[in-house]
Amino acid sequence: MQTKKTLTLLSAFAAVSLLVACAEVPQQEVDAAKADIEAAKTAEAETYATAEFQAASDSLNAANAEIETQNAKFVLFRNYDRASVLLKSASAGAKQSGTLAAENKQKVMAEVAQLKTDTQTALTTANELLAKAPKGKESKEALEAIKNDLMSVEAGITEADGMTANNQWLPARDRLKAGLDKTNQIIQELNDAIAKKQGLSRG
C-alpha cells in the first residue's frame, strides 16, 4: 500500500515537473534568435534580402508576443511550445536572409560594374553621333540640350562611384541605370536625326 502511494506521488511529481518544464521561457532560444537577427543585420539582410529578413523579424516579434501571453497565465497553465517554434523559425530565417543578402549584394556589385562600363560605352557612341548630327539654327538649342544631358550622365557616373565608396550599391545601380537609359534614348534620337538628314540629302 505504501509502495503504491509512493508511486502515485512520484507520478504526480513527474507530471507537475513536466508542466513546470513546459512553463519555462525558452531563454536560450530567445537569445539565439536575437543573436541571429543581429548577425543578419550585420550581413545587410535588411537591404539585400528584405523580405526574408522581415519574415524572420516578424517570427521573433510573434514569439515575444506569445511569451508575454504565456507569462500572464498561472504557471501551471503556461506553455511555450508555440513560442519555441516561432523562435526556431526566426533563427532559421535570419540565417537564410544573411546568406541570401551576401549573394544578392555580390550580384548588385557585378551589375553596377557592368552598368558603368555600358554607360561609358554609350556615352562615347552618343558623343560621336553628336558630332555628326545636323547643325543649324533650328537644331542648335536641341543639340545644346543633348550635350547638357550627356554631361549630366557623366556626372552621374562620378556620383555612382561616390555611392559605391560609401557602400551604397543599390542607389549607385539606380543612378547608372537611369543614365544608361537616358544615353540610349539620346543615341536613338541622334540616329534618327542623322538618318533624316541623309534621306533629305539623297532626295
Q: Are residues 25 and 73 in the same domain?
A: yes
Q: Are 78 and 22 in contact (CB under 8 A)?
A: yes
Q: Which residue type occupies 170?
A: L
Residue 36 has pLDDT above 70, yes or no: yes
Longest distance between any two alpha carbons in the chain, whole Å: 121
Phi first, then psi: what are they for 109, rounded to 5°?
A: -60, -40
Residue 62 has pLDDT above 70, yes or no: yes
CATH number of residue 9's parent domain: 1.20.140
Q: Are residues 190 and 112 in the same domain?
A: yes
What CA–CA distance (Å, rounded) separates 185 from 199?
Answer: 21
Provide CB contacts within 8 A for 34, sequence distance 6+: 60
pLDDT of residue 3: 61
Least confident of 5-9, 136-140, 169-173: 5-9
Q: Are residues 60 and 80 in the same domain?
A: yes
pLDDT of residue 196: 85
Q: Are residues 114 and 152 in the same domain?
A: yes
Q: Are residues 74 and 111 in the same domain?
A: no
| Percentage of the chain modeled with pLDDT above 90 | 79
Q: Higher model confidence: residue 14 or residue 156? A: 156
User: What are the DSSP E strand ranges found in the chain?
Assistant: none
Q: Are residues 119 and 189 in the same domain?
A: yes
Q: Are residues 115 and 182 in the same domain?
A: yes
Cα-trace Rg, the chain: 32
What CA–CA distance (Å, rounded) separates 154 from 123?
Answer: 8
Residue 5 has pLDDT above 90, yes or no: no
Q: Are residues 89 and 55 in the same domain?
A: yes
Last residue of a domain, one of 103, 127, 161: 103
Q: Are residues 152 and 96 in the same domain?
A: no
Q: Are residues 44 and 129 in the same domain?
A: no
Helix, strand, coil % in the chain, rounded to nearest 5: 90, 0, 10
| Percentage of the chain modeled with pLDDT above 70 | 87
Mean pLDDT of the chain: 91
* 125 closest CA partner among 183, 71, 171: 183
* 126 closest CA partner among 175, 178, 191: 191
What CA–CA distance (Å, rounded) separates 148 from 10?
Answer: 88
C-alpha cell at 121: 560605352
pLDDT of residue 113: 99
Split at pLDDT 50, 70, 90, the class of 72 is very high
Phi first, then psi: what are they for 90, rounded to 5°?
A: -65, -45
Count how many domains the chain has: 2
> What is the DSSP secondary structure assignment for residue 77, as one 8-state letter?
G
> 159-203, pLDDT tens digit by residue?
999 999 999 999 999 999 999 999 999 999 999 999 987 765 555
User: Quick one: how far is CA 79 from the chain centroid?
Assistant: 36
Split at pLDDT 50, 70, 90, the class of 137 is confident
Last residue of a domain, one of 76, 103, 130: 103
Q: Are residues 157 and 169 in the same domain?
A: yes
Per the structure, the complete domain to which residue 175 belongs is given by 105-202
Last residue of a domain, one of 57, 85, 103: 103
Q: Are residues 18 and 89 in the same domain?
A: yes
